[in-house]
Amino acid sequence: MTFKEKVYEFTSKIPKGKVVTYGQLAALVGSPRAARAIGMCMRTNPYAPVVPCHRVVASDGSLVGYSAGEGIKTKKQMLLAEGVIFSGDKVDLHHSQWHPHD
């Protein structure tokens, strides 16, 4: 399985109402130093919305890198509709970060 295939497979498992960070996703697919490469995979995701790239956020909960609709505004609306909790413009990672091994 290629790196991209692993990334898309794992991203497709992120449940509604939860998010992962780029760095977290990189570690989960076995490449902990590949957060930027994760961003490239999300940018070129041919499988949206089956692979929900909008559920991947920056390490501080910031919304970055979304090109669909009205960009970041659309990403936030989608996450809010799914039940993700925000503190201002950032995802509240304490409440909404997915921990698949818990």
Given 7, 20, 38, 53, which residue is catalytic? 53
41 is catalytic: no
Helix extents (H) in 1-102? 3-11, 22-28, 35-43, 72-81, 93-96
Chain centroid to CA 16: 11
Residue 91's DSSP bridge partners are: 86
Catalytic (active-site) positions: 53
